[in-house]
Structure 1
């Protein structure tokens, strides 16, 4: 029987992150991929408010590479997060193996955006505010990647001990 998600604090954090990131991906992040006539007014309102408040150039003058990042979000990140929600609830043994590359991808794409924002021709305070919005979406995946790496290392280390003991018995 799976250990309760409430007793696995890091997994609970990842679950909450996925449960908020997936809807936000479809409501805001991926909106530039939708045919304009299919975007409901309330979603346009959220994006217009976001652009007006933060002047995020990715939603005003989308660079071609940013489109690639959106495609990775649509075809890799969101499906893995959806899988991750169920896997975390089930306490699946595959969680570290699947979430490590996801965490690295999200960290890399988000950190690339932060680095790019730092070099925009915009007022410093505006850039700092926007980088502050992006930073948690870089920091949490970095933490997750370290956690998943250590979980995988633990499995590998324990299997090495077992195989070493088995090898000594067979001599």
Structure 2
């Protein structure tokens, strides 16, 4: 069961300042998304080993949680997770999804369809940019593969960080941005 709180989300790597995000957004190539019909989630191998017995999901659960305890297999056995998307706090890891800030299909239709398997694997497991977030599972499912022109976090206080993170990931990977997506990001950055 979730308890609503206004906790601060865990610090994420690589979130640029708003001014930097605006500059990065301006530098992105504007191009209509292209769906070649060949997207498959399996083309982005994810939850690879980060260290020891910990995979990417487990690493993010530990990074983003509070008082997280893990067993020998690195599975979270207790802790709490604040979802910045909706402001909910969870005490069961099963209630938390690890969201790809820029969803895998959104990446595919904005340039990742030309990447090597190694680059797609890196992208799906990237712990060095603000790409992976521990969030409420049903909120992540509602987001699905939508961009910010079709979906925004329910918690408006997160708009600025969400846009800064989205832009940082697109910029880091040289992905394109659709016109409506760019406009939605610019609107969200205006809330910073």
TM-score of the two chains, using structure 1 as the length reference: 0.31
Say which structure is richer in helix: 1
Say which structure is richer in strand: 2
TM-score of the two chains, using structure 2 as the length reference: 0.28
Higher relative contact order (CA 8 A, sep 6+): 2
Q: Say which one has the larger Rg.
A: 1
